Amino acid sequence: MRLEYFLVADSIVIDQITNRVSILQIVDNVTVASFPCILPGFSTVAGFAVPAESLGKLKRVSLRVSGGALPQSHELATSFTSNGTHHRLVHRLDHIALECGGDLDLDIMIDGVHLGRRTISVRQSLAADSIRVAAAPL
């Protein structure tokens, strides 16, 4: 299998009639008010080219979420069988506990073979009361 795309977004919409996917607000970085915190969530969408020899065969997928921003790594497992030359896979992750700033790595593997990674930078925003602006005389 070949990974064609792997994106992280706030949300995705799949049209029930056409099967087209709309990806809303791609996530490359996250800014939070303070740590520790709970990230409300996001979706991942991956597209694969399926070779002829894999058609109709069960494939095991693993999405690993790790990195310095997390207290521990997590792995989500699923499987699929594709009857076409392309396959799309969607995961929804909700209520992600972040301990500190750093990277949030999302790795996707099929049958134990690593196919891709997305890294999201997590950082703390400057609080409004910590920003001091010097008043200029008129």
Q: How confident is the model at residue 126 (pLDDT cuts 50, 70, 90)?
A: confident
Q: Where are the beta strands (DSSP E) in 1-66?
A: 2-14, 21-26, 29-32, 37-49, 58-66
Edge-first strand order for the sheet with 113-124 is: 29-32, 113-124, 102-110, 58-66, 74-81
Q: What is the mean pLDDT of residues 87-109?
A: 95
The DSSP letter of residue 52 is G
Q: What is the pLDDT of residue 130?
A: 46
Residue 135: pLDDT band by 50, 70, 90 thresholds?
A: very low
Q: Is domain 2-125 classified as CATH 3.40.50? A: no
Average pLDDT, stretch 60-78? 94
For residue 138, what pLDDT is reported? 42
Enumerate the domain spans of the chain: 2-125
- What pLDDT is attached to residue 127? 62
